[in-house]
Amino acid sequence: MTDDEMRKAIQEPLFDSSIVRHGFAPFLRDYDVVAKIKKHQFLYRFSHCTSATVTTAVADWIWQESWSDIFTDYSAWQRAGAPEGYVWGVCFSLAYPGATYVDNSAPAQEWANRLGKPMHEVRIETNAHNLCLIFHDLSVRELREGDEEWVIERMGAKPSGQVLK
């Protein structure tokens, strides 16, 4: 995929979508982001990922209010009276403000020099985590139910945003 194709692939469709899973592919070379966009799931595969940095986007005081394991299970959180805090148990995050292709990335250039291959940097900001990926190429495909990467929706949580009272 060209730089321009990457920019286009990560901007509009990924903006304000639900990220239902992210992490290294089972074979550990590529980084996968599964996004739910208008009732469809898409696999964004960042190939030859040499660096994946994940940091929290949740404020310290919200972490403190959301420390209990009750917040990791949506049904348990509801049974507990829906206490204030970040409900991790909805099992998705909102890609807002979304993804950015980083032009003239120094880390990507450093990896390109080391490996002798073109490398790129993309940042994905969500309401739960911020991702920074250094990778060689990007592929995007729509998933079908039954695909290995398909994410089954959890009971009780709808991709409309975490609850923070």
**Can you give the residue ranges of every domain in the chain?**
3-57+93-142
**pLDDT tens track for 18-48:** 999 999 999 999 999 999 988 899 999 999 9
Dist. CA 87–CA 74, nearest whole Å: 7
Dist. CA 70–CA 79, nearest whole Å: 9
**pLDDT tens track for 128-163:** 999 999 999 999 999 998 999 988 876 445 444 444
Determine the length of the chain.
165
Neighbouring residues of 91: CB distance < 8 A, sequence distance ≥ 6: 20, 74, 153, 154, 157
What is the value of pTM for the model shown? Answer: 0.90
**Rounded to the nearest 5 degrees, what angle is found at the Cα of 90, between the Cα atoms of 85 and 20?**
130
Phi, psi of 17 (to 5 degrees): -90, 180
